Amino acid sequence: MNWSRLNPRFDAIGVDEAQPTLESNALPLPRELSLQQLTVRVATSWDEVEALRPFWQVWNNGLHTDIDYYLQNLKNDVTAIGPYVICVYKYGDPFGMLVGQLKKRRVSTMVSMVRIEGPHVRHLEIVTEGRLGPESREVDVLLLEEIARALEKGNVDMVYFHRLPMGSSLSQGIWQLPYLFPRKRLMHVVSYSKLPLTALPGKRPPVFSGKIMREARRKTQNLQRDYPGRVILRCFAGSKELQEGLGAVAAVDAGTWQNSLGTDFTDPLHTVDSFRYFSEKGWLRIFVLYVEERPRAFLIGQIHGKTFHCEHAGYHADFRKYSVGSILTSWAFENLAAAGVERIDLGEGGQEHNRRLGCEKFDESTVHLYAPTIRGLALSLFFGTAETGRHLGSLARSRLHLEWVARVWRKSLVSRRAKTAAGENSDRFGTTKLGHSPALSGPPRNSKACG
Check whether residue 174 and residue 316 sit in a common domain. no
Is 372 inside a domain boundary? no
Contact status, residue 218 vs residue 443, Cβ threshold 8 Å = no
Give the span between the Cα atoms of 183 and 379, in whole angstroms: 10
Give the span between the Cα atoms of 133 and 87, in whole angstroms: 10
Helices vs strands, H then E, count in the chain: 15, 12
Contact status, residue 99 vs residue 126, Cβ threshold 8 Å = yes
Beta strands in 202-352 (DSSP E): 231-236, 284-291, 294-304, 307-315, 343-348
Type of residue found at 163: R
* Residue 134, domain CATH: 3.40.630
Check whether residue 206 and residue 349 sit in a common domain. yes
End-to-end Cα, the chain, rounded Å = 39
Check whether residue 266 and residue 294 sit in a common domain. yes
Is 434 inside a domain boundary? no
Number of structural domains (the chain) is: 2
Structural domain including 240 reads 194-362+408-429
Give the span between the Cα atoms of 43 and 99, in whole angstroms: 10
Percentage of residues of the chain with pLDDT beyond 70:
74
Check whether residue 133 and residue 234 sit in a common domain. no
Give the span between the Cα atoms of 406 and 47, in whole angstroms: 50
Is 56 inside a domain boundary? yes
DSSP for 46-79? Answer: HHHHHHTHHHHHHH--SGGG-HHHHHHHHHH-TT
* Per-residue model confidence (pLDDT) at position 360: 81
Contact status, residue 410 vs residue 189, Cβ threshold 8 Å = no
Give the span between the Cα atoms of 73 and 343, in whole angstroms: 24
| DSSP state letter for 30 | P
Check whether residue 158 and residue 122 sit in a common domain. yes
Is 218 inside a domain boundary? yes
Give the span between the Cα atoms of 391 and 209, in whole angstroms: 38
Is 435 inside a domain boundary? no
* Mean pLDDT, contiguous 10-residue spans, the chain (451 residues): 32 32 40 65 95 94 92 89 95 92 88 79 93 92 92 90 87 77 69 87 88 92 94 92 90 60 46 86 95 94 93 88 92 94 83 70 86 88 82 76 70 61 47 42 40 57
Check whether residue 14 and residue 42 sit in a common domain. yes
Is 62 inside a domain boundary? yes
Give the span between the Cα atoms of 153 and 46, in whole angstroms: 23
* Residue 341, domain CATH: 3.40.630.30
Check whether residue 159 and residue 200 sit in a common domain. no
* Per-residue model confidence (pLDDT) at position 419: 55
Check whether residue 208 and residue 63 sit in a common domain. no
Is 284 inside a domain boundary? yes
Check whether residue 289 and residue 174 sit in a common domain. no
Of 181, 210, 230, which closes a domain?
181
Check whether residue 212 and residue 99 sit in a common domain. no
Type of residue found at 275: F
Is 397 inside a domain boundary? no
* Per-residue model confidence (pLDDT) at position 86: 96
Give the span between the Cα atoms of 286 and 266, in whole angstroms: 14
Give the span between the Cα atoms of 301 and 344, in whole angstroms: 10
Question: What pLDDT, in 10s, does the model give residues 129-165?
Answer: 999 999 988 899 999 999 999 998 888 999 999 888 8
Check whether residue 50 and residue 155 sit in a common domain. yes
Question: What pLDDT, in 10s, does the model give residues 230-252?
Answer: 999 999 998 889 999 999 998 88
Give the span between the Cα atoms of 9 and 176, in whole angstroms: 32
Check whether residue 198 and residue 173 sit in a common domain. no
What is the length of the chain? 451
Backbone angles phi, psi at 45, to 5 degrees: -135, 160
Strands ordered across the beta sheet of 231-236: 38-43, 80-90, 93-111, 114-132, 158-165, 360-370, 183-196, 343-348, 307-315, 294-304, 284-291, 231-236
* Per-residue model confidence (pLDDT) at position 414: 60
C-alpha distances in Å from residue 451, one per residue of 219, 275, 344: 26, 17, 15
Give the span between the Cα atoms of 199 and 342, in whole angstroms: 9
Point out which residues pair with 310 in neighbouring strands.
301
Q: 360-396 burial, b for 16+ CB within 10 Å, e for fewer?
A: eeeebbebbbbbeeebbeebbebbeebbeeeeebeee
